[in-house]
Chain A
């Protein structure tokens, strides 16, 4: 009785948008870059790569290998260390612990001989001799994770509040507008620092909460406007006419039609929050000392730069610049592909 349905589903709005996106070569290249970063993040989180980032493998501030090792500044210090030994023998009394000490010294030198600290590394080392390259890779994990999760949180809050305010109107709209005004009337950094002080706990989760809870305002405003525009459209009236509940109209009917706005805002905020995390950590409100992010690398680099050790700041900046640029261009490409006016 049932007529056979054609097998091939026809392209939906998203499929068409994806096809438009695929025509944008720059956008596609940026997508590849972002996907690589995301893969690195996932691999770090799973512990497949750079698990040993915190090991002190090189000498302090070992320069990048293409610069060659630094002039041996350790030699005079070693000579000074040996000098007092000669002075002790002058008393003529045999040291009762000499044998033990010799044994310990021998043991120690044996160990240090087995793990000779490298004089240079591919992209240099930090103050404790940790590999800067590995730190930058490990930093990707934290920074990108913070950016993605905080942006998702902000987008979720902004969309939910915007949908409620825009669709329901009345006192709900007034309330959320009041909340919006309160959040936007306080200078951003002050607000961030205030939340940080209240939470009073360092860590990745704190940073995510700070950024997510303060960053929803812009998205809220846009989504609210979109909902106000859509709720009087005929397809929403038609949904009402067939008896669709209010929640269904808001989230099944309207949300997919404004989701391109959310998506573009989401990727814009990822960029924004990656930069914010760096600033927060730089100011000392970011991730703890036991973890590394691009922000903490930049914070360390402050003092290194005076000594002329530029490689840590270069590594963190490059890693961040590439990701942020790629993500921003990706956002532009997304906006072009998803713009419903082009249909």
Chain B
């Protein structure tokens, strides 16, 4: 018997007075008892809206669920339930964990208080018993020293620990259905692995059902019994997990599976979704791209003992030193890609900013064609700025919202005197837009009119405006959907082939780095623990931390 039945669910969002957006277009699926169902889709696929509709948490002022929609939980209609019934159900029978553990926990209450609150609310337990139960739960979700954690505030815990607390809260009242909305997206790979194992273990032990929402198909294989693939509010395919992976029927599912850089080989181009939807999947089976260094390439950028510390006030007189980068030394070969891998806090972003002189280094040298950039006065460093450029992670934050695309592209040219006049600069900008695959009409538009992938193309075009020799890509594709990621990786590769640029490719995504890099550098706590060729490092990792990272990669365990 199915625990949850969703039929013909359709949800409209009112955007303004005249326009509505249908976020979910009549979908239906079941969640059986004691099973895990994964809802997979890219941004805008309606997966989170579906979860919110089940929980009755859709914003009332602009969301409407169609009258024909049905959501039944053990035969009871959730859409017809009163607020009071829903409140009794939420938390007790159905509970939810969210993507961002930091913003889902109330910062002013202790962890123990917040867990106990859920228990007192639904189970009417006295304070002392609720506290005892909270302690047990913290132990169950695998927090070290649960007794001490009970009195901790959320900010005193790491992201993974916070997510564990969220899970403890969610299972506090022994729900039958746990909805997990991208529970591991904000976490590092090694932590992601632990949380996935925790959820799978709890599901088996407590015999609950889990509705697992994610954008990452590779995660699903390890945790789900059934998979529902969504795109633009519709279900493209659903079925048993094994069948979806071995014999996907829908071209979109096939595309999703193929877009991720494979771990076994390196196609010249990654296939993109359009190839599949048009029925002509390219890329796969074609010629392979060769990676790795011969060892005699000219070195364009070299760092020697690069160090950066941040200082915090500690007490009245003291100050605490945080070493973000500890003596990093590496070489970047001309026309090649150096991949930088590490978890959050490993210092990889700081490293990129140091090379750009956006942060002031505390020590070491950055040699660009043999000349140390760090001691140069700002005037002299100016001419080097155009030769090293950077593309940031978040395409929504890195473009000035008050500038048109044309202004964004022409500004660096104006500053550095590229092109003789406005007309020539405009022509150059239009050429750049063509290069990154954007229409000429984009020139007069503002960033808010573009999607995330398109904005990242604009950011790349801006960096290219100065014809840099070194491009630092700081998690440049991490915030994007899988399909868009593949397009941008292809674009970056094409540009490197054409201009022979050198890339410093910073990412937490091991599969992407393996695909892109000629040499891989692994960072941990500000230190470079291993540098080696991509095939070597993935097949024969030397450092224990590299081994841990690789074993945590999703899709690797299968």
Contact = CB atoms under 8 A, between A and B. Distances in A.
Contacts of A241: 356, 358, 385, 389-390, 463
Interface string A3-19: 10110011111000000
Given A5-B444, A243-B416, A257 B411 contact: no
Given A13-B402, A13-B446, A239-B400, A3 B440 contact: yes
Interface stretch (A193-201, A230-238, A318-326): A230-238
Residue among B397, B416, B423, B463 having the largest count of chain A Cβ atoms under 10 Å = B397
Interface in B429-452: 430, 440-441, 443-446, 448-449
Given A2-B430, A238-B462, A244 B415 contact: yes
Contact of B444 (A3, A6, A242): A6
A79 interface: no
B427 interface: yes
Nearest to A1: B427
B444 A9 contact: yes
Interface string A238-277: 1111111000100001001100000000000000000000
User: Which range contains the number of B residues in contact with the other chain?
Assistant: 35 or more
B400 A242 contact: no
Contacts of A253: 400
A117 interface: no
Nearest to A253: B400
A240 B445 CA distance: 23
Interface residues of A, number: 28
Interface string B523-542: 00000000000000000000
A244 B411 contact: yes
A257 B401 contact: yes
A12 B398 contact: no
Contacts of A51: none
Contact of A235 (B356, B385, B400): B400
A235 B462 CA distance: 11
Contact of A240 (B358, B404, B462): B358
A238 B440 contact: no
B397 A235 contact: yes
Contact of A3 (B390, B430, B459, B463): B430
Given A2-B427, A243-B382, A10 B449 contact: yes
Interface in B4-48: 17
B466 A242 contact: yes
B446 A12 contact: yes
A240 B416 CA distance: 13
A243 B385 contact: yes
Residue among B358, B393, B401, B402 having the largest count of chain A Cβ atoms under 10 Å = B402
Nearest to B415: A243
B392 A6 contact: no
Contacts of B392: 234, 237-238
Interface string B387-412: 00110111001111110100000011
Contacts of B356: 241
B386 interface: yes
A341 interface: no
B426 interface: yes
Nearest to A248: B415
Contacts of A248: 415
Contact of A242 (B353, B393, B411, B443): B411
Residue among B389, B400, B430 having the largest count of chain A Cβ atoms under 10 Å = B400
A343 interface: yes
A16 to B, nearest CB: 8
Interface string A40-76: 0000000000000000000000000000000000000
Contacts of B401: 13, 235, 257, 340
Nearest to B448: A343
Contacts of B441: 5-6
A237 B466 CA distance: 16
Contacts of A23: 17
Interface string A192-221: 000000000000000000000000000000
Nearest to A14: B402
A3 B433 CA distance: 12
Nearest to B17: A23
A60 to B, nearest CB: 57
B412 A256 contact: no
Nearest to A236: B400
A241 B390 CA distance: 7
Contacts of A235: 397-401
Nearest to A257: B402
Nearest to A242: B412
A6 B439 CA distance: 11
A10 B426 CA distance: 17
Contacts of A244: 411, 415
Given A10-B449, A241-B358, A234 B444 contact: no
A243 B399 contact: no
Nearest to A340: B401
Residue among A1, A234, A248 having the largest count of chain B Cβ atoms under 10 Å = A234
Contacts of B427: 1-2
Nearest to B385: A243
A288 to B, nearest CB: 44
8 contacts: A5-B443, A23-B17, A237-B392, A238-B390, A238-B399, A242-B416, A248-B415, A256-B402
Given A235-B397, A243-B386, A243-B415, 6 more contacts: A5-B440, A23-B17, A235-B399, A239-B400, A241-B356, A242-B412
Interface of B: 17, 353, 356, 358, 382, 385-386, 389-390, 392-394, 397-402, 404, 411-412, 415-416, 423, 426-427, 430, 440-441, 443-446, 448-449, 459, 462-463, 465-466
The 5 closest A-B pairs by CB, nearest first: A242-B412, A234-B398, A256-B402, A234-B397, A243-B385
